Chain A
Amino acid sequence: MSELLERLSMLVEVGKINKVTPYPPEMKDMDGASEITQQALERGIDPQIILNDGLMPGMSRIGEKFARGEAFIPNMLISAKAMNAAMDHLKPFFDGGEMPSKGTLIIGTVKGDLHDIGKNLVKMIMEGDGWSVIDLGTDVGGDKFVKSVNEHKEAIIGISALLTTTMLNMEEVITKLRENNSSTKIFVGGAAVSKSFSEKIGADGYFRDPYSFAQSFN
């Protein structure tokens, strides 16, 4: 069993989606994450174990490599695609087709900023680590964050900004959120953001990469 799950982890890490996808070239015509997940289910392995011990470690390893500069964004994207292909087999086994969740993250790029790649990476890594992610998209103001947190009281919030000009809008969002729900944990990130800036605007934390953000909850 562990050999199959270890293989599944490796397939997610390298981004081998299924048998017909040509990437990685050295694994051409070999089974991918989709087929191996199906095989694991046929052998009677618990879907929760497949998720926890097969898929999530693979996604975690590619996130860790990315944090160390040993992997690139395309590697993360293809790994997420492999994980999603595997999840399609698992979803029917969970209540209502919903995956079990560690918690809910509400995420969005701050008002004025339309950059979404960093935000999407955080979403991928957090989902891969077992979180439910509500993606509010880009150019998100305080009111939209407040509305979402009122609908998901236990959620934590992640705000992203790429530019030195738009990161200033984060403070306004945090002020609005604090006025409405002071207990909500708010985290910030993005190319221009720093730890000192996050402290200055009253955020609960800053993470320089998605992997360290996910790991901080484990």
Chain B
Amino acid sequence: MSKVYYQRDKNFEPDFEQFLRVLRRDIPHRPTLFEFAMNDRILGKLSGEKNENKSSRLAPFRRLIKAFTNAGYDYTTISAWRTNTLDFPKGNMAEKESRSLNAGSMITDWESFEKYPWPDARAGDYELYNDLGKLLPDGMKLIASGNGGLLENVIDLAGFENISLMYMLDETLTTNIFNFVGERLLKFYEIVASIDTVGACIVNDDWGFKNQTMFPPEMLRRWVFPWHKKIVEVIHRAGKPAILHSCGQVKDVMKDVIVDMKYDGKHSFEDLIIPVEEAYDLWGKRIAIIGGIDMDFLARMPVKDIQRRSLAMLRKQLSRGGYLLGSGNSIPDYIPDENYFAMISAVKNI
């Protein structure tokens, strides 16, 4: 055991109801935090455990839950890649600091579609989510997310440029690929949302570049959004809120997200696209706004500026709620630890 570098409060008690209040666009009784994912170094500093213990099925999660608790979250986010529940086999993809959206495509035509080893969405270890309940402190729930979203997985399977041409030149194959991925993701969310320890779900699916959506909105409305609508429906049917994590410029489809798909919260904001303060003013009365302290801002700005902006955002939500403080996307290892701590410590100063 090594040093714990940050604790929200020694007596902090998670209270998932505070998170639910925000998702209902109410004012929480105390400032509430959100983070989708954090790098291993910061998990080590928050938990006081430098390395992940892999001695048993539950052991790696003990450290993760401890880190989220010490940081002051009311939940632990848990992705399907950690639980080995649903994963679409991919081709070889070289990875550096980034990876190509064209790499690793396994489905380029009907023959490769028919040969593809489609996973069984029911075959995963969903009991794990139940078992993790033994590790959760009172008041804390899990927030479950998939291993990539519908469009992300289709792009991974077919390649961005391939699918761009395919939807125009072979609509039937395109429909089949989206349906095969969509049916499996829907089943995944139907199962996880019904588990008692899971309090909410994140549907993570990037749709945009800096200036616009990756595909024309009418393409998204035909192949992507109907599946999101079904996924939100199964999450809501289980009595849980659904959060959309989608990066890039999505303003042209935000009405679809709010009115048609009926997401409860939107996560992922970038200053170059729309600063979270503006997003809160623009959409905050109709959907909870989550995170949004820009990644570049977090990476480069001095601690006092990060504290000032985080505090200002918390003050902004005091009158009508519907906001969770957190980063625009996640905490990768290039964000200085002290900058992340500066952001989350704003909850102590309001």
Residues of B within 8 A of A114 (CB): 94-96, 98-100, 103
> Which chain A positions have C-beta within 8 A of B213?
72
State the CA gap A78–B219 with chains docked (Å). 15
Residues of B within 8 A of A165 (CB): 97, 334
Are B209's CB and A191's CB within 8 A?
A: yes
Q: Mark A1-38, 1 if CB is under 8 A from B, else 0.
A: 00000000000000100000111100000000000000
- Decide if A130 is an interface residue (CB 8 Å cutoff): no
User: Known interface pairs A69-B212, A120-B161. Does A78 touch B168 (Cβ–Cβ under 8 Å)?
Assistant: yes
Chain B residues near A49: list those with CB within 8 A: none
- Judge whether A163 and B98 touch: CB under 8 Å: yes
Given contacts A72-B216, A74-B216, A191-B209, contact A117 B98 (CB under 8 A): no
- How far is A112 from B94 in the complex, measured between Cα atoms in Å? 11
Is A166 in the interface zone, CB < 8 Å from B?
yes
- For A113, the chain B residues whose CB sits under 8 A away are 96-98
B167 to chain A: which residues have CB within 8 Å?
74
B99 to chain A, nearest CB (A): 5
Q: How far is the CA of A24 from the CA of B171 in the complex (A)?
A: 12
Please give, as numbers and ranges, the residues of chain A lying within 8 Å of B103 by CB-CB distance: 114
A contact residues around B97 at 8 Å (CB): 112-113, 163, 165-166
Contact-size category for B: 20 to 34
Interface size bucket, A side? 20 to 34
Interface contact B102-A164, CB-CB below 8 Å: no
Name B39-59 residues within 8 Å CB distance of A: none
Q: Which residues of A contact B122 (CB under 8 A)?
A: none
Cα(A209)–Cα(B210), bound, Å: 11
Q: Does A139 contact B (CB under 8 A)?
A: yes
- Nearest CB in chain A: distance from B37 CB, A: 17
Q: How far is the CB of A75 from the nearest CB of chain B, in Å?
A: 7
| B165 at the binding interface (Cβ < 8 Å) | yes
B100 touches A116 (CB 8 A): yes
CA–CA, A72 and B253, complex, Å: 14
Q: Measured between alpha carbons, how far is A191 from B215 in the docked complex, in Å?
A: 17
Q: How does the 8 Å CB contact mask read for A60-81 relative to B, with 1 for contact and 0 for none? A: 0000000001001111011001
A residues less than 8 Å from B295 (CB atoms): 164
- B101 touches A (CB below 8 Å): yes
The residue that B98 contacts in the complex, of A21, A22, A73, A115, with Cβ under 8 A, is: A115
Tell me how far the C-beta of B103 lies from the nearest C-beta in chain A, rounded to whole angstroms. Answer: 7
Q: Inside 8 A of B210's CB, which chain A residues have their CB?
A: 191
List B contacts of A164 (CB < 8 A): 295-296, 299
Chain A residue with minimal CB distance to B95? A114
Knowing A22-B169, A23-B168, A72-B216, say if A77 contacts B161 (CB, 8 Å). yes
Query: Taking the nearest CB of chain B, how far is it from the CB of A72, in angstroms?
Result: 5
Interface string of B260-298 (1 = CB under 8 A from A): 000000000000100000000000000000000001100
A162 to B96, CA, bound (A): 12
Residues of B near A21 (CB, < 8 A) are 169
- Is B211 positioned at the interface, with any CB of A under 8 Å from its CB? yes
A22 cross-chain contacts in B, Cβ below 8 A: 168-169, 171
When C-beta atoms are compared, the residue in chain A nearest to B97 turns out to be A112
> A138 an interface residue at 8 Å Cβ cutoff?
yes
A-B contact pairs, 6 of them (CB 8 A): A22-B169, A72-B215, A74-B164, A74-B219, A117-B101, A163-B98
Interface: B38 (CB within 8 A) = no
Chain A residues, Cβ within 8 Å of B209: 73, 191
Given contacts A74-B168, A77-B165, contact A69 B101 (CB under 8 A): no
Bound together, the chains give a CA A120 to CA B96 distance in angstroms of 19
| Residue numbers in B under 8 Å from A112 (CB-CB) | 96-98
Interface residue? B160 (CB, 8 A): yes
Q: Which residues of A contact B98 (CB under 8 A)?
A: 112-115, 162-163, 166
Cα distance, A81 to B219, chains bound together (Å) = 19
Kindly provide the distance from the CB of A79 to the nearest chain B CB, expressed in whole angstroms. Answer: 11
Q: Which residues of A contact B165 (CB under 8 A)?
A: 74, 77-78, 81
Chain A nearest Cβ from B74, distance in angstroms: 30
Answer whether residue B191 sits at the interface, using C-beta atoms and an 8 A cutoff: no
Q: Is B214 in contact with chain A by the CB < 8 A criterion?
A: yes
Assess the B334–A115 pair: CB atoms within 8 A: no
Given A21-B169, A23-B169, A165-B334, verify A117-B212 contact (CB < 8 Å).
no
Q: Which of B161, B169, B212 contacts A72 (CB 8 A)?
A: B212
**Which residues of chain A in 178-207 are interfacial with respect to chain B, using CB atoms and an 8 Å cutoff?**
191-192
Q: How far apart are A15's CB and chain B's nearest CB, in angstroms?
A: 7
* Residues of the A chain whose Cβ atoms lie less than 8 Å from the Cβ of B164: 73-74, 77-78
For A77, list chain B residues within 8 Å (CB): 161, 164-165
> Contact between A117 and B216 (Cβ–Cβ < 8 Å)?
no
Q: Bound complex: CA of A69 vs CA of B169, how far in Å?
A: 23
